[in-house]
Structure formats: C-alpha cells, structure tokens
Amino acid sequence: MARTKSSFRSVETPNNGFQISKPVFAILVLLFDAILVTLIISFVPYTKIDWDAYMSQVDGFLNGERDYTELKGDTGPLVYPAGFLYLYSLIKFITGAQVFPAQILFGVLYIINLAIVQLIYLKTDVVPWWAIVLLSLSKRVHSIFVLRLFNDCFAMTFLHTSLLFLLYQKWYLALIIFSAAVSIKMNVLLFAPSLLLLMLKAMSIKGVFLALFGATLLQVILGLPFLVSYPVEYISRAFNLGRVFIHFWSVNFKFVPEKIFVSKEFASALLFLHLLILLLFAHYKWSKHEGGLLRILRNWLNDSLSKLLSFQFVSCKSKIKTLNKEHIITVMFVGNFIGIVFARSLHYQFYSWYFYSLPFLLWKTSFPTIIRLILFFGVEICWNIFPSTLYSSLLLLSIHLIILWGLSIGPAEYPYIQEETSHSKEK
C-alpha cells in the first residue's frame, strides 16, 4: 500500500517537550543560511574562474555572432546550449558585468534553490527533521554559488523547480522547465532516463507525446538564431557528448593513469556500466511492483497501439496514474546519482549536480544514521581537497559505490497513490 505521511507534523524535542513543525525548522535553517551567504559574499574573496569567459561569450552573442565556433572566452570556446547565452545576457544587463552585484544575485539564487529543495524534502518526508540542516552544510556548494558564479547553479535550480512541479503532477510545465535547465547546461540530461520512465508509468501516449513535444519545441525556439545560420556548429558545440576533460581537474578518477583516463576504451566502459546499472535499477527497483521494466514497456506500447488503431489518441486522457511523491524523487535522484558515479570526470562545480540529493539518497538506504552521516561528510571532505589526489578520488569513488550498493539493497517504495491506482484499474 502507498505510504501516507504528513510533511508538516510537529517535532518534539526530548528535553522539555517543546514542539516545532518541520516547515518552521526549515525556515529557520533558510534564514541562518541567508546570513551565512551574506557573510561569505562580504568577507570571502571572489575566485576568478569562468565569469570573464562567460561575459566574453555573451559579448560575442550580443554583437551579432551566431557561429558557435567563434564564441569564445579566456577559458575556451562556448560549449553550452543557447539558453546559457540568453540567461547570462540578462545577468550582464542586471549586474553590468560586475562581480559583486552578480554575487548578490547568485546569493539570492542560492536561497531560492535551497527553499525549493527544502520543499521537496518536506513533500517526500524521507529524512528526519534535523537532517534538513545538512543541505546547508557544504562549504564547496556555497563557494560554487557565490564565489564562482557557475552556470551549474542556474541549471540545477531550474532542475529542482521541475522536480517540484512533478510532485504536484504538473507534467507539461515540469518538462518545459526541465528543457530550460538543459538549455543552460547539458548535465541535466543525466535525469532524462528516469524522467522518461516516470512519464511512461504516469502518462498515456498522448501525454508523453505532448510533454516531449513541448520540451523539444523550447530547445528549437531557443536555438533558432543559431540553427538557421550555423546549425552544424551549434549542435556540435552545444550538445557535444564526447568531450574529454583534463585529467588534472578530475575529482573522482584522479587515481586512474592519464593515458587510460583520456582513452575511448575507458569512456566506453564507464558508459556501459552507467547504462547497465540504470537498467538494473529500472527493472528490479523502480518497476518492481509492476512486474519489471519489460512489462511496463509492453503494457504501455499495447495501450498506445490500441488507442492509435481505434483513433482515440486525441480523446484519451493525458494522465493515467498518479505517482507517489517519494517514488518520483527516488527515481530522479538515484538515476542522476548513477550517472555521477560513472561519469568520466567530475570537476569541482559538478558537486552541485547531486549534493542536494545526498541526504535523501542516504536515508533511502538501510544504513544506521551514524554511517549515513560519515558517508555524507566523507563526500564533502573529498570535494574540498584541492587539488584532488589519488587517495581523495579513490575515497570519493568508494563512498559513491557504498551509497549505490545501499540503494540497491534498500526497500522499494510503492510507486502509486492507491486511490488513483484503483481508479485506473477500473478504467
């Protein structure tokens, strides 16, 4: 049966019986973090990495350049989709390309993103009330947002917003926002396999088609100025899946010799493992209650064909089942984490891709709380060692694999809200 939990129950302290609701505690954490962010911006020196390159690339775009091979900065060519250019053009307009106003803007973004993630945690109610504070305890993530000003920050804020709309069953809007996140940075595509599976479980062929059409249309509209002028240059640069990162900056595979690290064989092996583990989780964990991934695909295809052959595509409902909130976030967070584990190179800003999912993932395992905390802070320590070493990268990979193993042996939540499931069966 579906597990029903209240995200807004009160928390009683053991000493004096004082009660505080989880949302109130989350707000207090948010206020504390806002003060912390203000202090960081005021007293910690800004670190110049990509900001000047971003501004140079935006200048080229604003000056009329549409050839992606000619949009460059001091750290290299532009490798992000068109949404990045529109976003940072707006940021340049707001900040005048000055670092300090941009830090304030990113500080506000940090708090907005944290509030969205907190709401996701409250809605799913997987972690205990006090564990919400873990979302504010990363030195590296604070740095990524307000001292480095990376585009990863906006991409992940859009992604988390998309997840929040999924929890409210707003699939079309969630897909549009997801597509917007992809247009800022392609790492968001690590969530795509999980999202597609959830769509197949919750939506009819009409719903899936319309959602994917809307997401694709946004990509076309954003990329249109480049697609009509230099389409090959745009697609090859903005959606380059074969980039080889510099071995020195790798946080997760520094222990691998550079010759092997840059080889196609190593990349192919990691891709194979990524897809294999995804399929195993999709079949044995995420589709367990439906009888496996193949049964989901077969039933969905059979239902879709019957609607097409009977000309019911237009009249059929877009949504056929309502998914459990915990199941939605579990599938999305775990799917992304699998991609993180087998990514050939994780740079320091990439920590923002999965940090906010770590408490959730750890509490989805059956580990004792002390082990969960050791793993959480172990990951944080590895990401704060600069430059990464053979031992720090080996430790990080080991912790990732331990968490992945814990997720694989943990119980699978029931995927549907019971009332909706019964209604669908009657249909």
Closest CA to 163 of 152, 145, 177, 150: 177
Task: Write the burial class of residue 30 (CB in 10 Å: 0-12 exposed, 13-18 middle, 19+ buried).
Answer: middle
The 10s digit of each residue's pLDDT in 69-106 is 999 988 888 999 999 999 999 999 999 999 999 999 99
d(CA 326, CA 415): 8
pLDDT reported for residue 133 = 98
What is the pLDDT at residue 231? 95
Helices (H) and strands (E) in the chain, counts: 18, 4
Nearest alpha carbon to residue 337 among 326, 325, 351: 351
pLDDT band for 420, please (50, 70, 90 cuts): very low
Check: CB of residue 182 under 8 Å from CB of residue 278: no
- pLDDT for position 187: 95
Query: What's residue 177's pLDDT?
Result: 98
At 58 the three-state DSSP class reads helix
What whole-number distance in Å separates Cα of residue 270 and Cα of residue 305?
Answer: 36
Task: Read off the pLDDT of each residue in 372-397 and give the average, rounded to a whole number.
Answer: 97
Residue 337 to residue 194: CA distance in whole angstroms:
11
Q: Are 53 and 74 in contact (CB under 8 A)?
A: yes
**pLDDT one-digit tens code per residue, 235-282:** 999 998 777 778 888 999 999 999 999 999 999 999 999 999 999 999
244 torsion bin: left (phi>0), alpha (psi -120 to 50), beta (else): beta
**What's the confidence (pLDDT) of residue 423?**
43
Q: Is it the case that residue 12 has pLDDT exceeding 70?
A: no
Q: CB-based burial of residue 16 (10 Å sphere; 0-12 exposed, 13-18 middle, 19+ buried)?
A: exposed
Closest alpha carbon to 200 in 275, 300, 293: 300
Nearest Cα to Cα of residue 157 among 109, 195, 119, 193: 109
> Of residues 427 and 350, which shows the higher confidence score?
350
For the chain, give the percent of residues with pLDDT over 70: 91
49-56, long-range: CB < 8 A, 24+ apart: 49/75, 49/148, 49/150, 50/75, 50/148, 50/149, 50/150, 50/151, 51/99, 51/102, 51/148, 51/149, 54/88, 54/149, 54/151, 55/88, 55/92, 55/97
pLDDT at 17: 53
If you search the block for the tokens 């000056």, which residue do you land on? 63
Q: Note the pLDDT of residue 307.
A: 73
Could you list the beta-strand ranges (E) of 35-167: 72-73, 76-77
Report whether pLDDT(427) > 80: no
- pLDDT value at residue 227: 96
Q: Strands, E, within 312-363: which ranges?
A: none
In the chain, the percentage of residues whose pLDDT exceeds 90 is: 82
- pLDDT number for residue 4: 45
Please give the Cα distance from 182 to 80 (Å, whole number): 9
**CB of 363 within 8 A of CB of 380?**
no
Indicate the pLDDT class of residue 58, thresholds 50, 70 and 90: very high
| Distance of alpha carbon 332 from alpha carbon 338, whole angstroms | 10
pLDDT of residue 425: 42
State the distance between the two ends of the chain, measured CA to CA, in whole angstroms. Answer: 20
pLDDT band, very low/low/confident/very high, at 305 (cuts 50, 70, 90): confident
What is the reported pLDDT for 75?
A: 80
Q: Which one, of 120, 191, 125, 417, lies nearest residue 289 by Cα?
A: 417
- Two tokens, residue 187: 């790492």
The helix (run of H) or strand (run of E) holding residue 12 is strand 10-12
Q: What is the pLDDT of residue 302?
A: 87
Please give the pLDDT value at position 315: 59
The amino acid sitting at 198 is L
Taking the CA of residue 329 as centre, how many other CA atoms within 13 Å lie in the half-sphere pointing to its CB?
Answer: 29
Question: What is the C-alpha separation between 298 and 200, in angstroms, rounded?
Answer: 11
Say which amino acid occupies 111.
I
CB atoms within 10 A of CB 148: 22
Res. 300 pLDDT band, cuts 50 70 90: confident
pLDDT in tens, 198-235: 999 999 888 999 999 999 999 999 999 999 999 999 99
